[in-house]
């Protein structure tokens, strides 16, 4: 599996599945399983028993994980692939390699 290029807080668009065309912000990333949790996408119904924390119990609707291959990063309102550029930066006399994410369509650096 390749390195996950998506991060928490990124805005993505769903490109396949029941929520195709919807956009949302990434709430959580699981790079080990290659899945992301997107705000308002892939809603699942969970039935909960009454407990000390939830006196009422009942039905809860919450987001479920979706595969990262089913979403695409949104850059300036358009979906785009992400690439990486490795550059060397010199600070205080030391050289350090820095990896930055780049939008493939425009070539602009996404990370600050």
Indicate the pTM of the whole model: 0.81
Pick the CATH number of 11-103 from 2.60.120.10, 2.30.30.30, 2.60.40.10, 3.40.640.10: 2.30.30.30
**pLDDT tens per residue across span 38-64:** 999 999 999 999 999 888 989 999 999
CA-closest candidate to residue 26, choices 16, 17, 14:
14
Instruction: Bin 58: left if φ > 0, else alpha if -120 < ψ < 50, else beta.
Output: left
Neighbouring C-alpha atoms within 13 Å toward the C-beta of 48? 16
- Determine phi and psi for 98, rounding to 5 degrees: -120, 130
pLDDT at res. 2:
64
CA-closest candidate to residue 67, choices 2, 14, 23, 11:
14
- Using only the alpha carbons of the chain, give its radius of gyration: 18
**pLDDT tens per residue across span 76-98:** 999 999 999 999 989 888 999 99
Give me the residue label for tokens 């009942």.
58
Q: Taking 80 as the threshold, does the pLDDT of residue 110 lie above it? A: yes
Contacts (Cβ under 8 Å, ≥6 apart) of 44: 61, 62, 63, 64
- What are the structural domain ranges in the chain? 11-103
């Amino acid at each position: 599996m390749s390195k996950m290029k998506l991060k928490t807080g990124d805005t993505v668009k769903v490109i396949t599945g029941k929520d195709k065309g919807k956009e949302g912000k990434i709430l959580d990333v699981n790079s080990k399983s290659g899945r992301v949790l997107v705000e308002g996408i892939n809603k699942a119904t969970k039935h909960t028993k009454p407990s000390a924390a939830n006196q009422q119990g009942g039905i809860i609707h919450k987001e479920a994980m979706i595969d990262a291959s089913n979403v695409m990063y949104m850059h300036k309102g358009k979906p785009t692939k992400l690439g990486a550029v490795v550059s060397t930066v010199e600070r205080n006399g030391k050289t350090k390699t820095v990896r930055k994410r780049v939008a493939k369509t425009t070539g602009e650096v996404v990370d600050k």
